[in-house]
Amino acid sequence: MGKQEPLAGSCNATKAKAKAIDTDGPDFIILRLSKPGAFFLLLLSFATIVYIRLGYLPYLAGAPHRAPVARNPWKGLAAHCEATQPIPQSELLQRQLRLAQTLHELNASAYIAEPGANALFFGNISDSSWHLSERPLLLMISPLVNDGEVSAKVTVLTPYFEETRAKLLNVPGADVTFVAWREDDDPYTVGVNALPSPSGGPIYVDGMIRHFIVDGFQKAVPEVDVLSAPLEITSLRERKSPAEIALLKCVNEVTVLAIRAVQAQMYIGMHESQVIAMVDDALAAAGLTERWALVLFGENAALPHGTGTDRVLGISDLILIDAGGVLFGYHSDVTRTFHLAESQIPKDHLKLWWDVHAAQTAAQATAGAGVITSDVDKAARTELTGRGLGRYFTHRLGHGIGLEDHEAPYLRGGSDDIIETGHAFSNEPGVYIEGKVGIRLEDCFYIDEDGDAVYLTAGVGGQAIDPLNP
């Protein structure tokens, strides 16, 4: 490079002069700056670094706006449920006693469940603590009667080579018996022979038990009926205790807080998959296990369970997040449809949001002890039908929630189940117009001692306030 003309510039009327000089090496420019000019250059460099760190540089370059990411966007989520405790051993023992008393009243020989929600409820055996296989491990509870007093006899039927591992399960009970069956044994015959003084009455099984197990017991005792547990037994788990309600409240509240925290980090131009990862991070920070999230933008939400795409968020898109997790065995299930502050949502889509909100409110006002479950579904459906949207509400209103994300009883048309104190349900009406827009709002509620429906999320505000405030 040859000799250059001097460079000149100004800042606040202060000129910075530059002089180019020749050297024996590569050509270069030396800038001689005044103190104010040097200060301005330093300030500009610092501002550039800050914008890069906070994510604003793409925005300045014309890319979609990306909100600044907080150093700890999930701060405070972990503290929300840190004081909660698992169901105490005393309550587990009470559950077994109530089951034994019910079995005695029904003149039944036993209740049998394999690892899952019912075995967890009565025996602290979940399907995560003992995975199902073709070799059955079963929880068997029978009534014992001494001097007119009923007590629970707890037996765990286990494969012989797994007996030591089975005994590591924390199964409550004053005298839990482990009965092992060898590979050349019939496990069901071994199980029946382990039942104390069978009355000849029916053997009731968990309604979700695998059918080959039912067949095995029926073949082992053909003279005894092996039946799915009746309402007298299933209602023991359907009606939640105060300790269960406390867990359900906290896990659902923190799920709402996690969705709000994710909204604060979202920006136009991001992908559905990015938001799914953010929801998982937030729920993990909150201490939840078995986390899941459904994230749908715009018309993708018109299919209630999504399309499996990885759509980019546009400025006119509503955002649907359906998410949940588990806290000490108890589930959350929350759906919010919302938009960002910089979104430009069509007015007809915003009207649909308020229509769904009205349906959710109508259902909540209808629910209560003594009400038929189908009437609650009807209340939401009637509200949407009156607004010309009935055909776009394509699924039941809600499901029970507790040790399972979806469990009986259900809020659906055609059901004659009666709502009772302690029941807990989801309330999730939706409008789904394929190819255009989908909106769902979901909060779970329980029936309190006064027979009233109370949102499990009431502690953090209950149902969504408006489309910008989920």
Q: Is 469 helix (H, G, I), strand (E, B) or coil?
A: strand
Contact 194, 155 (CB under 8 A): yes
In 147-195, the DSSP E strands lie at: 149-159, 177-181
> Taking the CA of residue 225 as centre, how many other CA atoms within 13 Å lie in the half-sphere pointing to its CB?
10
Q: Where are the domains of the chain?
A: 89-235, 242-460
Q: Is 59 helix (H, G, I), strand (E, B) or coil?
A: helix
Whether cis (ω within 30° of 0) applies to the bond prior to 26 is no
Q: Please name which of 315, 304, 331 lies closest in space to residue 397, comparing C-alpha atoms.
A: 304
Q: pLDDT at position 90, please?
A: 96
Q: Which residues pair with 293 in a beta bridge?
A: 323
Q: pLDDT at position 103, please?
A: 97
In 275-357, the DSSP E strands lie at: 289-297, 319-327, 330-331, 334-338
Q: pLDDT at position 200, please?
A: 77
- Specify the residue for token string 């699924």: 395
d(CA 362, CA 397): 12
Give the full edge-to-edge strand order of the sheet including 226-228: 177-181, 149-159, 138-146, 110-113, 203-205, 226-228
Contact 247, 240 (CB under 8 A): no
Q: Is 269 helix (H, G, I), strand (E, B) or coil?
A: coil
Contact 103, 141 (CB under 8 A): yes
Q: Please name which of 257, 242, 320 lies closest in space to residue 288, comparing C-alpha atoms.
A: 257
Residue 9 is classified by DSSP as E
Instruction: For residue 77, give Cα distances in angstroms to 115, 209, 248, 253.
Output: 31, 36, 16, 10
Q: pLDDT at position 154, please?
A: 97
d(CA 28, CA 19): 10
Q: pLDDT at position 69, please?
A: 57
Contact 229, 121 (CB under 8 A): no
State the architecture of 89-235 in CATH terms. Answer: 3-Layer(aba) Sandwich (3.40)
What phi, psi does 380 have (nearest 5°)? -65, -40
DSSP string, 85-112: -PPPHHHHHHHHHHHHHHHHHTT-SEEE
Question: Which CATH code, of 3.30.930.10, 3.90.230.10, 3.40.50.300, 1.20.1070.10, is assigned to 242-460?
Answer: 3.90.230.10
Helices vs strands, H then E, count in the chain:
13, 20
Which residues, including other chains, have CB under 8 Å from residue 388's CB and lie 6 or more apart?
none
Report, as ranges of residue numbers, the positions in the chain whose pLDDT lies below 50.
1-31, 50-63
Buried b (16+ CB within 10 A) or exposed e, 80-116: bbeebeebeeeebeebbeebbebbbebebbbbbbbbb
Contact 29, 20 (CB under 8 A): yes
